[in-house]
Amino acid sequence: MKTVSGFSKLTKLEKINFLVENYLQSSSKNSETIKSFWHDDAEAQRIFDDFSENTITNFYAPYGVVPNFLLNDKIYCVPMVIEESSVVAACAKSAKFWQDRGGFKAKIIDTEKVGQVHFIWKGESEKLFSFFNETAKPKILEYVKPLVQNMEKRGGGLKDIELRDHTDKEDGYYQVWATFETCDAMGANFINSVLESIGKSLRDQVFESELFVGTEKELLVVMAILSNYTPNCRVQAWVECPVKELEDSGLEMSAELFVEKFQRAVRIAHIDVNRATTHNKGIFNGIDAVILATGNDFRAIEACGHTYAAKDGQYKSLTHCEVKDGMFKFWIDIPLALGTVGGLTALHPMAKISLDMLGRPGAKELMMIVAASGLAQNFGALRSLVTSGIQKGHMKMHLINILNQLEATEEEREVVKREFENQVVSFQGVRATLAKLRNLQ
Question: Which of 281, 311, 329, 436 does the annotation list as catalytic?
Answer: 281
pLDDT at residue 87 in the model: 94
Q: How far apart are CA 394 and CA 73, in angstroms?
A: 30
Contact 162, 175 (CB under 8 A): no
State the catalytic residue, choosing from 105, 137, 320, 394. Answer: 394
Distance linking the first and last C-alpha atoms of the chain: 45
Give the residue ranges of the chain where pLDDT is below 50: none
Among 297, 316, 365, 398, the active-site one is: 297
Structure confidence at residue 42 (pLDDT): 92
Annotated catalytic residue within 84, 204, 218, 260: 84
pTM of the model: 0.89
Write down the pLDDT at residue 414. Answer: 78
Cα–Cα distance, 91 to 290 (Å, whole number): 11
Task: Please state, in angstroms and rounded to a whole number, the distance separating the CA atoms of residues 82 and 421.
Answer: 25
Active-site residue, 84 included: yes
Q: Which residues of 366-399 are buried (b: 16+ CB within 10 A; e: fewer)?
A: bbbbbbbbbbbbbbbbbbbebbeebeebbbbbbb
Q: Do the Cβ atoms of 119 and 219 come closer than 8 Å? A: yes
- Active site annotation includes 261: no
C-alpha–C-alpha distance, residues 359 and 212, integer Å: 56
* Listed residue (226, 206, 236) closest to 137, CA to CA: 206
Q: Is 281 a catalytic residue?
A: yes
Amino acid 243 reads V
